[in-house]
Amino acid sequence: MMELSQDLSFLEMIGHASWVVKGVMLVLLLASLASWWIIFAKLFALRREKSGAEKFEREFWSGGYSEIVKRLGDDGRAASMEEVFRAGYRELVKLKKQPSVAPASAVESVRRAMRATYQREMDKLEAHLPFLATVGSVSPYIGLFGTVWGIMNAFRALSNVAHTTLAQVAPGIAEALVATAIGLFAAIPAVIAYNRFTHDLDRLASRFDVFMEEFSNLLQREVHK
């Protein structure tokens, strides 16, 4: 008599699966590992960016403008918001050397320089997010393909059996369902992380937009004095 507790263990089900189903499981496992690597990397990166933005804003609006300007010559990587400011300030310094430039044109040039750097910084922060979205949307279907294939094989193996019992059918179906389970295991964290990171990036982008507008208004008041 078949010992279901042994035959239906997780490792046994994977070991008895067909090569197609094993291939599906391997693809899903690799996708899951890549997703978790991206999730942790993006989590730490966004945490650093939010902390850096808060620190920069406190320093900038509390009168530490000169200290930030002194760091412009540093080659080290700054937080994204400070990189945006650096781009605008460097453009302002260049324009000050050209007395013929109108104040309104100078402010607009600074805004464009900040906007270009802002876009590059956001592109870096958004890197690999499409992969999470792809894993989240495609993994269940890949797992379902493995399940359908495994169930077909299970019933084909039983086609020549005169008397079919639950003990004979259950292991094959269970092995096939593991592919769907692994697909969901890969998809669910990817979807949750993608939605969370998208929300955080939207808030960070709004923060950058507000700073760029406030800095542009500050410059506009300065040039019209």
Among positive and negative, which fits the CA dihedral 21, 24, 30, 35? negative
Q: Is the pLDDT of residue 1 over 60?
A: no
* Residues 59 and 89 sit within 8 Å (Cβ to Cβ): no
Q: DSSP readout, 34-100?
A: HHHHHHHHHHHHHHHHHHHHHHHHHHHHTTTHHHHHHGGG--SPPPHHHHHHHHHHHHHHHHHT-TT
Q: Is the pLDDT of residue 174 over 70?
A: yes
Please report, for the chain, the start and end positions of each structural domain, with discontinuous segments joined by +. 4-223
Q: Tens digit of pLDDT for each residue in 17-32?
A: 778 888 888 999 999 9
Higher pLDDT, 58 or 9: 58
Confidence of residue 171 (pLDDT cuts 50, 70, 90): low
Q: Tens digit of pLDDT for each residue in 105-125?
A: 888 898 999 999 999 999 999
C-alpha distances in angstroms, 189 versus 21, 28, 32, 213?
Answer: 22, 13, 9, 36
Mean pLDDT of the chain: 83
Check residue 137 and give its pLDDT: 95
Of 193, 134, 191, 184, nearest in space to 25 by CA: 184
For residue 49, the Cα-to-chain-centroid distance in whole angstroms is 14
Rounded to an integer, the average pLDDT of 175-187 is 88
Rounded to an integer, the average pLDDT of 197-216 is 92
Check residue 5 and give its pLDDT: 44
DSSP for residue 161: -
Q: Which single residue is written with the structure tokens 């359908």?
A: 148
Say what the pTM is.
Answer: 0.81
